[in-house]
Chains A and B, each alone.
Chain A
Amino acid sequence: MSRLVFILIFILTCIQYLIGENWRKAITAVEDKIVLIEFYEQHGSMESIEEKSRIKRFLSGVIVSKDGLVLTSSSIFKPSLEFSGSSSFHFSDNKLSEIKVKLKDGTSLDAEFVGKDDDKNVGFVKIKNTSDLPVLKFSENEKLDIGDPLLIIQQLGENYDRELIVTKRLINARQEKPNPAFLCEDKISTGIKFGIALDEDYEVIGILIDDHSLISIGEGSVLSSGGLLKIMPYSQFRDLIANPPVYNKKESTRKKWLGVYMQPFTIDMAKYFGNDSIRGVLLNTIIKDSPAEKAGLQSGDVIMAINNVKVDAKTNNDLDVFREVIRSQQDSMITIDIFRDGKILPVSVQLAETPISQFLADEVTNSKLGFSVKELTQDIIIAKQLDFETEGVWVSKVEQAGWADVAGLVIGDLILKINETGAENLKVVEEIFDHINNSKPDYIQLFIKRNGDTRFLYVKTNYKMEEE
């Protein structure tokens, strides 16, 4: 009995020693590499042509290169750069400006936005004109598993002078798909969803990420991020530090794209096709002019392997893995094995860059008429339920109570003609706008398409009053 008590006391003392002594040590080792990023988030409004509102935001980051590269969360710049089915319109595509990075000693340095990777939830800013900063050293720990302890270091909010807070967590779960991550119980919310994770040896093994998928409400996903903390291991973003993604409007770094919609291929389906052993991803839709279409892929094909590596999708999560495999291909030429009409055949596909989102699309504005148009991008085509081959420009902004608004123009309308001229692309629209601005007509005719129907709108101008 007394022996047991002795052992207990011994263990407790050890823990006391280990934690008490070394947490400070852990902080000291990293604190000069953790920075505060201050920036302004520009909010676009679809009801106003000028972007008026901006909000000051704070984020944490860590210095990952001597010349000032700072790793942070991708939430620093919210617009999605690549097309996807849904996208919020309330963010501006203007590059972030007035970014300041505040070091441990209080110095505030100018920085600029570099780019982000939404798949990995990381973003980068770069401190200008600097060369000798302390760099946070990451290391890989492949042995980490459920039950292992992690130290999480985060910045506290303004009320606590951005002091660092250390918490000890246990790995409660491992997420394998689509990207490996550790999930920990999360009781303390610091408000800033960024931080670093250390293992028992106080090596920095990963970062805390702000994963939107934890917030999405749907079958099988967690209702809110409250309660779960997600840690991405170093192996997942090592290459990004070496080669950070670049945001530069349409020249932004983009991932590879096949151009299909797909669904799980179940064992029951395999049985239906008379071959139980077939596993893969079922393609249901081939997007027009996509790499998939060019390679001759068809609706109903089952992809069984990419570059001789087998793929298998029984669930929607498996589809995410497949998507990730395609997106992260380095070489754009790939070979896939497909199952079609009872036979397996190899197909070569030349992958393309993922099409841009409407945020990156060019926009032309006529502030007098009170509306803006953008070129059509895949996300708008999908959101507006248009044919994939639709061409033209769409109304991206309408100034509230402006001339166009009064005439009944609505965001999302496709503009087919302005006056008598076809509005095929932005260049033509720009020319028409120039002409209108010079000739100042009393009425402008817009031929538009809305919900499948066309109609004419007449914009009454009032140049005279504007000039008075």
Chain B
Amino acid sequence: MIYRLTVFCLFLLPSYLLFADITGEILQAKNKVFPALVHVQPIKEIFSSGDKRKVQVTGSGIIISADGYVVTNNHVAEQARFVRCTLSSKIELDAEVVGLDAWTDLAVLKLDLAGAGLKSVPFVKLGDSDQLEVGQIVLALGSPLGLSRSLSMGVVSSIDRYFDDMGEMTSPFNLWIQTDAAINPGNSGGPLVNLDGQVIGINARAFMFGENLGFAIPSNNVDYVVKQIIKTGEVERSWIGIEWQEIKEYRKYKKDESLNGVLIASVEKNSPAEKAGLKPGYLVKTINGKPVTALYQEELPPLRLLIANLPVNSMIAFNVKTDDGDRKFKLVTDKQGKFSGNEFHCDAWGFSVEELTPRIKKIFQLESDNGVLISGVRRGGPADESDIRRGHILLKIDEEEIINLDDFKQKYQAMKENPARDHLLYLRFINRNWFALIKGTAL
């Protein structure tokens, strides 16, 4: 009713007054957020082609507390060795990475206030993204293409944009706010702001070759993740190994429009769900007694959150409809694996290795947890000479199994003590194996 009234009133206003009013609102909103805007410049240490390299990138961020916590994107802050920040007042100061969450592409930094001789910094509060409406005017602030302290304006184009798994850019736990406010690389981590000057999203994506198609992570998702990171340095999630599927078409196939629930599309090997006996094709009706349903794709992220946000080792009860009638299942959740693994650089052998994460295991369809991934090979190095390639999984050295990254590091360090010895590496690539001899160097 209030909304209708407002619209009605707006119509009554002479148009020149309307514009004056909006400019005023924009300025007001900007003035609230602008002091808390941060230009973020991490120096990253990346592993590329089997070598360690440093690169500088540019992103944006927003201060959310007086003592200097800054929200930005994971893809801005990950692998950062050193972060330099510039406030909108042009004060420069260092920051450290408090924690990262690749699953939501969020990161928290802490500004070194003491180092810059500051006691406190201006900050903004996160707004409630559930109150957003399509058509509402929003502002994007940040450093597009490195042009710091920029502002662009647009409207909310959609509040429930869903993206299926897109590899590195996966976002299983949130829907996206789509906006036509100009968002370019460098805007990443910057705030999307409503006219009340509240941060209602963190800008994170834009479509290449698309125009005015920007995407922000809703502030309510941000709030949960940031609180977790500040508290423990990470976001711990529960994992059961199920991929869910919406039931819009399943209903039609079953000729029963009253069906509720969510379909199990896939059950991962050796997961809690598999061990409990859950199978693809089962229709889950309740989780811990709470009825669940996902008619459309857009309803999947909240459902995934429902499980992910439970403490690890929680007991979950499912009521499930199968072709053989209704059944009950119980299982205990596992901890969700890392999104990206740690890397290690082996200069003497000319390659870098990365620990196996669940995601890598899935991409390479690995059965066992053992081994490390060859993440890069230096051209002309010993590994390159013996045809070791990026993507190979290193399983054994001299008949000894490599259990994980730490195990590899230990063995590698020990072997470096005796550089004259030859080593035979046993690797796997997809369904083929490869022997590689790393020749010792004559003293």
Contact = CB atoms under 8 A, between A and B. Distances in A.
A143 to B, nearest CB: 40
Nearest to A453: B266
Interface stretch (B68-76, B131-139, B227-235, B433-441): B433-441
Nearest to A272: B422
A261 B252 contact: no
B82 interface: no
B263 A285 contact: no
A282 B434 CA distance: 10
Contacts of A381: 431
B3 interface: no
A443 B249 contact: yes
How would you classify the secondary structure of chain B's contact residues: helix, strand, loop or mixed?
mixed
A269 B437 CA distance: 7
Contacts of B437: 266, 268-269, 272
Given A443-B249, A454-B266, A456-B263, A385 B430 contact: yes
Interface string B252-263: 110100000001
A299 B243 CA distance: 36
A190 to B, nearest CB: 39
Chain A interface size, under 10 / 10 to 19 / 20 to 34 / 35 or more: 20 to 34
Contacts of B281: 447, 456
Contacts of A460: 249, 252
A453 B422 contact: no
B435 A269 contact: yes
Nearest to A382: B431
A161 interface: no
Nearest to A269: B437
A462 B442 CA distance: 74
B270 interface: no
Given A268-B422, A269-B424, A447-B281, A263 B253 contact: no
A447 B253 CA distance: 13
A110 B239 CA distance: 67
A291 B437 CA distance: 28
A26 B323 CA distance: 79
A271 B420 CA distance: 13
Interface string A286-310: 0000000000000110000000000
Nearest to A387: B431
A452 B265 CA distance: 12
A466 interface: no
Interface string B407-443: 0000000000000001010000011111101010000
A285 B433 contact: yes
A219 to B, nearest CB: 11
B312 to A, nearest CB: 23
Interface string A226-269: 00000000000000000000000000000000000101001011
Contact of B422 (A271, A382, A388, A452): A271
Nearest to A416: B280
A84 interface: no
B435 A453 contact: no
A442 B252 CA distance: 8
Interface in B273-304: 280-281
A261 B250 contact: no
A454 B265 contact: yes
B253 A443 contact: yes
A454 B267 CA distance: 8
B81 interface: no
B424 A272 contact: yes
Nearest to A450: B266
A284 interface: yes
B243 A261 contact: no
Contacts of B422: 268, 271-272
Q: How large is the interface on B (under 10, 10 to 19, 20 to 34, 35 or more residues)?
A: 20 to 34
A186 B428 CA distance: 42
A452 B263 CA distance: 18
B244 to A, nearest CB: 10
Contacts of A444: 253
A412 to B, nearest CB: 15
Nearest to B436: A263
Nearest to B364: A385
B362 interface: yes
A299 to B, nearest CB: 5
Contacts of A350: none
A21 interface: no
Nearest to A261: B432
Contact of B323 (A420, A443, A458): A420
Contacts of B431: 285, 381-382, 385-388
A455 interface: yes
A445 interface: yes
Interface string A40-77: 00000000000000000000000000000000000000
Contact of A263 (B243, B249, B435): B435
A285 B434 CA distance: 8
**Which residue of A269, A299, A447, A456 has the most chain B CB atoms within 10 A of its CB atom?**
A456
B273 to A, nearest CB: 13
B434 A263 contact: yes
B58 interface: no
Interface in A338-385: 381-382, 385
B150 to A, nearest CB: 39
A307 B338 CA distance: 52
Instruction: Report which residue of B249, B263, B365 has the largest number of chain A beta carbons within 10 angstroms of its beta carbon.
Output: B249
Counting chain A CB atoms within 10 Å of each CB, the highest count among B263, B267, B280, B430 belongs to B280
A299 B433 contact: yes
B245 interface: yes
A382 B429 CA distance: 11
Given A269-B435, A285-B432, A454 B362 contact: no
A411 B43 CA distance: 43
Contacts of B263: 456
Interface string A157-197: 00000000000000000000000000000000000000000
A282 B252 contact: no
Interface in A414-468: 420, 442-445, 447, 452-456, 458, 460
Nearest to A266: B437
Given A285-B432, A442-B252, 13 more contacts: A263-B434, A269-B424, A269-B435, A271-B422, A382-B430, A385-B430, A388-B431, A443-B253, A445-B250, A453-B362, A455-B245, A456-B281, A458-B252
Closest 3 CB pairs of A and B: A458-B249, A443-B253, A455-B265
Interface of B: 243, 245, 249-250, 252-253, 255, 263, 265-267, 280-281, 323, 362-363, 365, 387, 422, 424, 430-435, 437, 439
28 contacts: A261-B432, A263-B434, A263-B435, A268-B439, A269-B437, A271-B422, A272-B422, A272-B437, A284-B433, A285-B431, A285-B433, A300-B435, A385-B430, A386-B431, A387-B431, A388-B431, A442-B255, A447-B280, A447-B281, A452-B365, A453-B266, A453-B362, A455-B265, A455-B280, A456-B250, A458-B249, A458-B252, A458-B253
